[in-house]
Amino acid sequence: MAGRTARLVLLAGAAALASASQGDREPVYRDCVHRCEERNCSGGALRHFRSRQPIYMSLAGWTCQDDCKYECMWVTVGLYLKEGHKVPQFHGKWPFSRFLFFQEPASAMASFLNGLASLVMLCRYHTSVPASSPMYPTCVAFAWVSLNAWFWSTVFHTKDTDLTEKMDYFCASTVILHSIYLCCVRTVGLQHPAVASAFRALLLLMLTAHVSYLSLVHFDYGYNLAANVAIGLVNVVWWLAWCLRNLRRLPHVRKCMVVVLLLQGLSLLELLDFPPFFWVLDAHAIWHISTIPVHVLFFSFLEDDSLYLLKESEAKFKLD
């Protein structure tokens, strides 16, 4: 929910610098990559590379050029450390020790666990909440949108490419917009379905325009940042205002309020930008890990709220 907003804001800022990081500007890095590619990535040398490359690496899309960049990155890091300098970033990222085919092992695993937590809570929601609950279809749709976003987050942290980066960004934006729609249905749509339908069409139009511009015209990190900050603020303020208004009347709303506040607080972890511990665990991975129980809490809120609304609607039906 709100945590995806903070992640997008910080990712967009980092990605804007991705083509001009200190490490990949170094002549020693550039020369190393150039020599490595000339020596290993053409003719018989390339065939030899492919013949000894593990099948899981080739299936994950790792190329000879990627291997050259990876090896030369560590050559450059070693020189920096030997001279007593701080560890540099490369292409907008800290140097990570690759595990199997995972480019960022901790973040990839944490993204997978976030998705697994969402799947478990979706199954629990299916089991506990009857389909007749007014919020059932909207909550289930939100769960699937979240699962899709965590899938692409896992893929992106496994192998960073132009496609996986865009899918990670776009799917994360979709989660925020669906969270806004979820809030709209809960606060307005149950009483005025036509308003919710019109608002849903507006959000879909916004998402289509956003993705089309970034995909077909220009991938503008600055615009992407501004757009996601705007929708993120709407999401946070709307949910928080509704929570404060209903806190005394509906005890389970405390869960939603804790989720909003926790995700905003935990997002500050991203500001603690430091080289990864053991070349695996950085602030971004720690943030991903910390959000796993928060997702469980939010789905628990959705379950409690859906059961409350079902009970309320059944009571009104009996009175009528």
**9 pLDDT more than 50:** no
CATH of the domain at 271: 1.20.1070
Question: Are residues 195 and 261 both part of a single domain?
Answer: yes
DSSP for 144-161 reads HHHHHHHHHHHHHHHS--
User: What pLDDT is stored for residue 50 in this prediction?
Assistant: 87
- Select the highest-mean-pLDDT range: 40-54, 110-124, 283-297: 110-124
Same domain, 70 and 113: no
Q: Which of 56, 82, 108 is the last residue of a domain?
A: 82
Q: Does residue 224 fall inside a structural domain?
A: yes
Number of domains into which the chain is organized: 2
Q: Which residue has the tokens 């506990």?
A: 128
Within 10 angstroms of residue 171's Cβ, the number of other Cβ atoms is: 21
Are 184 and 76 part of one and the same domain? Answer: no
**Residue 14 confidence (pLDDT) above 60:** no
Indicate the pLDDT class of residue 18, thresholds 50, 70 and 90: very low
Q: Are residues 60 and 188 in the same domain?
A: no
Inside any domain, residue 93: no
The confidence score (pLDDT) of residue 13 equals 43
Domain membership flag for residue 92: no
User: 64 and 179 share a domain?
Assistant: no
User: pLDDT tens for residues 68-88?
Assistant: 999 899 889 988 888 888 888
Are 147 and 200 part of one and the same domain? yes
pLDDT of residue 264: 80
Asked if residue 58 and residue 113 are part of one domain, the reply reads: no
Q: Domain check: are 231 and 197 in the same one?
A: yes
Please tell me whether residues 173 and 245 are part of one structural domain.
yes
Residue 124 above 70 pLDDT?
Answer: yes
Question: 95 lies in a domain?
Answer: no
* Among candidate residues 12, 5, 6, 10, the one with its CA nearest the CA of residue 221: 12
Query: Does the pLDDT at position 255 exceed 90?
Result: yes
170 to 51, 144, 209, 260, 297: CA distances (angstroms): 36, 15, 12, 21, 25
In a domain, 91, yes or no: no
Domain match, 45 and 192 both: no
Residue 90 lies in a domain: no
pLDDT, residue 56, reads 86
Residue 17 — pLDDT band, cuts 50, 70, 90?
very low
Q: What pLDDT, on a 0 to 100 scale, did the predictor assign at position 15?
A: 45
Considering the domain boundaries, does residue 220 fall inside one?
yes
> Cβ neighbours of residue 209 under 8 Å, at least 6 residues apart?
none
Question: Is residue 121 scored above 50 in pLDDT?
Answer: yes
Residue 150 lies in a domain: yes
Average pLDDT estimate for 209-218 = 90
Task: Report the candidate in 87, 6, 5 with the shortest Cα–Cα distance to residue 269.
Answer: 6
Residues 151 and 297 placed together within one structural domain of the fold: yes
C-alpha span between 171 and 145 (Å, rounded): 8
Domain boundary among 33, 49, 82: 82
Q: Are both 238 and 152 inside the same structural domain? A: yes
What is the domain extent for residue 107? 2-18+100-319
- Would you state the pLDDT for residue 155? 94
What is the value of pTM for the model shown?
0.83
Q: pLDDT tens-digit profile of 94-120?
A: 888 888 888 999 999 999 999 999 999
Render pLDDT for 161-198 as a digit per residue (tens, 0 to 9). 889 989 999 999 999 999 999 999 999 988 899 999 99
The better pLDDT of the pair 91, 180 is held by 180
pLDDT at 203: 95
pLDDT in tens, 128-172: 999 989 999 999 999 999 999 999 999 999 998 889 989 999 999
